[in-house]
Structure 1
Amino acid sequence: MTAVLDEHVTHHATLGGETQSRTEQVALGLFIAVPFLALLAAVPVAWGGWLGWTDVAIAVGMYYFTLLGITVGFHRLFTHKSYRPNRAVKIGIAVAGSMAIQGPLVRWVADHRKHHKFSDRDGDPHSPWKYGTSVGALIKGLWHAHMGWLFDEEQTNQRKYAPDLLKDRDLVRISKNFWAFVLISMLLPAVLGGLITWSWQGALTAFFWGSLIRVGLLHHVTWSINSICHAIGNRPFVSRDKSANVWWLAIPSGGESWHNLHHADPTCARHGVLRGQVDMSARLIWVFEKLGWVKEVRWPVAERIQSKLVSAQAPAAA
């Protein structure tokens, strides 16, 4: 009976199985294209007076709420086990990440774990170096790493790369009901805008900025970690791939763009470990720890970090 139940839970853990359906690809295309068109229209819409402080507050609040759901939740917790949360934090951060509209939790984690296993080598779902190192190949690879890979029909095997998540009923339920969190994420800004301004115009502009613009911007910032942060940037740490730090993405990505250290030490809860490297996600984990909501946080160890620096591994001069 247990075996049958486990198989049922595994099979229905996310929308779709190991092959992406045509319906999913169409839905994915719409959720990429529509927010992108909204981004293109953002300047004329704002210039026309359809942007107020309520819209800004809702858009920024929703952006960082869902961004941190991805960085602190999907990435540092569920993929890399950088800390151990209580059940409320686990569920809350999984919901927040689902509202970023980047796919069901189990599928997201499976993809990212596979990325780390084969980073910038054959088997990596989204390496910009997939087609070679020439300028033309890199341009094609950047497109693939940024968003092209999302449309691959063959999906990462979730049983192989995320078996621990498939054993957690809370996470399976959240992953399976991803569609519900998409609806909440898209409708909540409009509801807030309408209630705050008590007008249909307030609801409409809040939807434009807090849903469409926010989702489009968050998507492209997150995808830039896959593309830009594996193509250009500073590499102070030794890693077996081309992961790099891109400073100007640090604040919009919540600290994820300190990507070189992350690939050198994947389970570390803080990615920005050098002086001046702002890491908002690590700060939130620190707050959770101080409140007693998480424990066993894998903070950076000075000696370990020092040993991974490129300068520390260079041969001494004769």
Structure 2
Amino acid sequence: MDAARDVGLFGPDSVTWKLHAEPILLIGGIRSLYLQALHPRAVAAVAQNSQYRSDPWGRLNRTSLYVGTVVYGSTAEVEAAGARLRRLHARMSAVDPSTGERFRVDEPDLLRWVHVAEVESFLTTARRAGVSLTAEEVDRYYTEQLRAAAIVGLDPATVPATASEVADYYADMRPHLGLTRDSAETALFLTVPPVPDNWGSRALRLSLTLGPARWAYLGIAGTALGLLPPWARQMYGGPGWRTTDVTADLSVRGMRLLLASVLAAMPERYRVPPMRKAALDRAALT
């Protein structure tokens, strides 16, 4: 392939590029973290190896950079990012708090859970926000994401590849999920993240802690929680009511419209993230 035209794993005709052009997927990313935290071993692995408490925004930036690279990077960039992640995971282990057993964080069962929770969260959030996708496109997105699963070290044949397979996978996983101390602490952290000490003056940090920005973020976190499946909300002690689903749908649709309005008012060069712009340039679509 001509390196100048290399569009990586997906490309302009993919459902993946269509879906990830939506800024509302930020909410899907937060939803996926709440969902992933319900797996006792997965959340223990994060709690024991990650610096998310001391450097939450740095970890968020690194995760966003990785996802953006997988979606929009060239083949070489994607392979390099995947290799770095696999090397990092290969060095890590954690202790199961309920059994005392030490386990590797790159166990296929854990990688599969994180993968499925992430891609399902992106897809579900986009659809409930009003992004129009056919049933065929939904299944095609899951199938396309098998390439991303392979990059982290999974055998694609072991990963759910359609909406029906994802639903069956969740049904099989539910008996193994639940609220642990690690998951409760993670959920609290996601809902009320601290303002880093190095973010400007004390007055600025106090404003971010107690001011409008905090309340705006609580609205985002609350919407992400509301978008969880009813059974997942109930594990967190929340209601499984249909009215909660309706409220979350209205909220995420409103956020999508607000984001569209804000982006429309911005200069053109700020409307498309740099990674997507570079990918579109390689595909000769700009």
Scaled by the length of structure 1, what TM-score is found?
A: 0.28
Larger helix proportion, structure 1 or 2? 2
Q: Which has the larger radius of gyration?
A: 1
Scaled by the length of structure 2, what TM-score is found?
A: 0.30
